[in-house]
Structure 1
Amino acid sequence: MTSRVLLSQGNPEQARACLEALHEDVVLVDGPRHEVAVEAAEVLAMLRRELNGE
Protein backbone atom coordinates (compact mmCIF):
# COMPACT_ATOMS: atom_id res chain seq x y z
CA MET A 1 0.00 0.00 0.00
CA THR A 2 1.17 3.47 -0.73
CA SER A 3 1.59 6.14 1.89
CA ARG A 4 -1.20 8.23 0.30
CA VAL A 5 -3.67 5.38 0.59
CA LEU A 6 -2.66 4.79 4.20
CA LEU A 7 -3.07 8.49 4.95
CA SER A 8 -6.50 8.57 3.33
CA GLN A 9 -7.49 5.59 5.47
CA GLY A 10 -6.41 7.39 8.63
CA ASN A 11 -3.17 5.45 9.17
CA PRO A 12 -0.49 8.15 9.45
CA GLU A 13 1.92 5.97 11.42
CA GLN A 14 1.81 3.22 8.79
CA ALA A 15 2.11 5.85 6.06
CA ARG A 16 5.19 7.23 7.77
CA ALA A 17 6.77 3.77 8.01
CA CYS A 18 6.07 3.07 4.33
CA LEU A 19 7.43 6.43 3.25
CA GLU A 20 10.52 6.09 5.43
CA ALA A 21 11.35 2.79 3.71
CA LEU A 22 10.83 4.36 0.28
CA HIS A 23 12.97 7.35 1.21
CA GLU A 24 15.81 5.14 2.44
CA ASP A 25 15.73 3.09 -0.76
CA VAL A 26 15.71 6.12 -3.06
CA VAL A 27 18.55 7.77 -1.15
CA LEU A 28 20.57 4.57 -1.31
CA VAL A 29 20.06 4.10 -5.06
CA ASP A 30 19.77 7.66 -6.41
CA GLY A 31 21.09 9.91 -3.64
CA PRO A 32 19.46 12.40 -1.27
CA ARG A 33 19.02 15.08 -3.94
CA HIS A 34 16.84 12.94 -6.20
CA GLU A 35 13.43 14.58 -6.60
CA VAL A 36 11.61 11.58 -5.10
CA ALA A 37 13.95 11.58 -2.08
CA VAL A 38 13.42 15.31 -1.57
CA GLU A 39 9.64 15.03 -1.86
CA ALA A 40 9.53 12.02 0.47
CA ALA A 41 11.66 13.89 3.02
CA GLU A 42 9.27 16.85 2.91
CA VAL A 43 6.21 14.66 3.43
CA LEU A 44 7.98 12.76 6.21
CA ALA A 45 8.75 16.01 7.99
CA MET A 46 5.09 17.00 7.78
CA LEU A 47 3.96 13.59 9.06
CA ARG A 48 6.41 13.73 11.96
CA ARG A 49 5.15 17.18 12.95
CA GLU A 50 1.54 16.01 12.84
CA LEU A 51 2.23 12.79 14.73
CA ASN A 52 4.17 14.70 17.40
CA GLY A 53 1.35 17.23 17.79
CA GLU A 54 3.37 20.20 16.58
Structure 2
Amino acid sequence: MSGWTTIWVLVLVVLAGTGGWVTAPKGPNQVLIRTCVLLTLACCYIMWFSR
Protein backbone atom coordinates (compact mmCIF):
# COMPACT_ATOMS: atom_id res chain seq x y z
CA MET A 1 0.00 0.00 0.00
CA SER A 2 1.41 3.34 -1.03
CA GLY A 3 1.80 6.23 1.38
CA TRP A 4 -0.15 8.43 -0.99
CA THR A 5 -3.09 6.04 -0.92
CA THR A 6 -3.18 6.30 2.86
CA ILE A 7 -3.17 10.09 2.70
CA TRP A 8 -5.89 10.23 0.03
CA VAL A 9 -8.13 7.90 2.01
CA LEU A 10 -7.54 10.01 5.12
CA VAL A 11 -8.58 13.12 3.18
CA LEU A 12 -11.74 11.33 2.01
CA VAL A 13 -12.55 10.23 5.57
CA VAL A 14 -12.07 13.78 6.86
CA LEU A 15 -14.35 15.12 4.12
CA ALA A 16 -16.97 12.48 4.91
CA GLY A 17 -16.73 13.35 8.61
CA THR A 18 -17.16 17.02 7.84
CA GLY A 19 -20.18 16.22 5.68
CA GLY A 20 -21.67 14.10 8.44
CA TRP A 21 -21.05 16.83 10.98
CA VAL A 22 -22.71 19.52 8.85
CA THR A 23 -25.68 17.44 7.71
CA ALA A 24 -26.58 15.93 11.09
CA PRO A 25 -30.23 16.72 11.77
CA LYS A 26 -30.98 19.30 14.43
CA GLY A 27 -32.61 18.02 17.58
CA PRO A 28 -31.91 16.43 20.92
CA ASN A 29 -29.86 13.59 19.39
CA GLN A 30 -27.60 15.77 17.23
CA VAL A 31 -24.53 15.19 19.39
CA LEU A 32 -25.16 11.44 19.43
CA ILE A 33 -25.52 11.28 15.64
CA ARG A 34 -22.37 13.35 15.08
CA THR A 35 -20.42 11.20 17.52
CA CYS A 36 -21.59 7.97 15.89
CA VAL A 37 -20.70 9.19 12.40
CA LEU A 38 -17.22 10.37 13.37
CA LEU A 39 -16.47 7.31 15.50
CA THR A 40 -17.59 4.96 12.73
CA LEU A 41 -15.43 6.71 10.15
CA ALA A 42 -12.41 6.75 12.48
CA CYS A 43 -12.76 3.05 13.32
CA CYS A 44 -13.18 2.05 9.68
CA TYR A 45 -10.11 4.08 8.70
CA ILE A 46 -7.99 2.59 11.48
CA MET A 47 -9.09 -0.95 10.59
CA TRP A 48 -8.34 -0.32 6.90
CA PHE A 49 -4.99 1.32 7.67
CA SER A 50 -3.76 -1.43 9.99
CA ARG A 51 -4.68 -4.21 7.54
Q: TM-score, normalised by structure 2?
A: 0.41
RCO higher in structure (CA 8 A, sep ≥6): 2
Q: TM-score, normalised by structure 1?
A: 0.40
Q: Whose radius of gyration is greater, 1 or 2?
A: 2
